[in-house]
Structure 1
Amino acid sequence: MRWFRGWRVGVKLILGFLAVAAIAALIGALGLQATSQVNQMARLMYSQEVAGIRHASQTQLRLVAAGSAARAALLASDKGTSIGQVYAMRDHLQGASAEIEKLAALSQTPDEQATVADAAKAVMGYAEALEAFASQLEAAEMDVSSVAAYEAALANAVMQGEMAEMMVNMVVMNKQNTSAALADQTTAVYDDAVIRLGALTAFGALLAIVLGTFLTRGLVRQLGGEPADVVRVVNAVAHGDLATEVDVRRARSGSVMLAMERMRLALSAAVGQVHASSNSIAEGAHQIAGGNTDLARRTDEQVASLTQAAAAMEQLAGTVSSNAGVAQQAANMALTARHSAQHGGEVVNAVVQTMSDISQASRRVVDIIGVIDTIAFQTNILALNAAVEAARAGEQGRGFAVVASEVRGLAQKSAAAARDIKQLILNSTQKVDEGSHMVEQAGRAMSDIVHEVSQVADLIQEISRATQEQTDGIAQVNVAVAGLTQLTQQNATLVEASAAAAGGLSHQAGHLLDVMGVFNLGGRQAPAMVTYQPV
Structure 2
Amino acid sequence: MKKGVRLGLGVKMIMAFLLVAAMSALTGALGVQLLGQVNAMAVKMFNQEVAGVRHASQAQAHMTAAGRAAANALLVADKGARISEIYFMRDHLDGAQAELKKLKPLFDSEEGRLAVEQVIGLTERYAAALEDYAARLETEGMQVSADPDYLQALAQAHAIGEQAETGAVALVLQKQNTSSALADETTQIYQFALSQMGALSLVGALLAIVLGAVLARGLKRQLGAEPRDVVQVTHAVAKGDLSHSLNLRKVSKSSVLFAMHHMQTALRNVVGEVHQSSDEVASGARHIAEGSIDLAQRTEQQAQSLLETVATMEALAQTVDRNASVARDVAQKATLARERAENGGEAVETLVNVMQRIDASSQRVTEIVALIDELAFQTNILALNAAVEAARAGQQGKGFAVVAAEVRHLAQRSATAARDIRHLVQESVAVAGTGSRIAGQTRVMMTEVVDEVRQVSALIHEISEATDSQKTGIQQVNSAVSSLSSVTQENAVLVHDVAARADGLSGQAASLLSVISIFKLGTKPVLQR
Structure with greater Cα Rg: 1
Task: State the TM-score, normalizing by the size of structure 2.
Answer: 0.48
Task: State the TM-score, normalizing by the size of structure 1.
Answer: 0.47
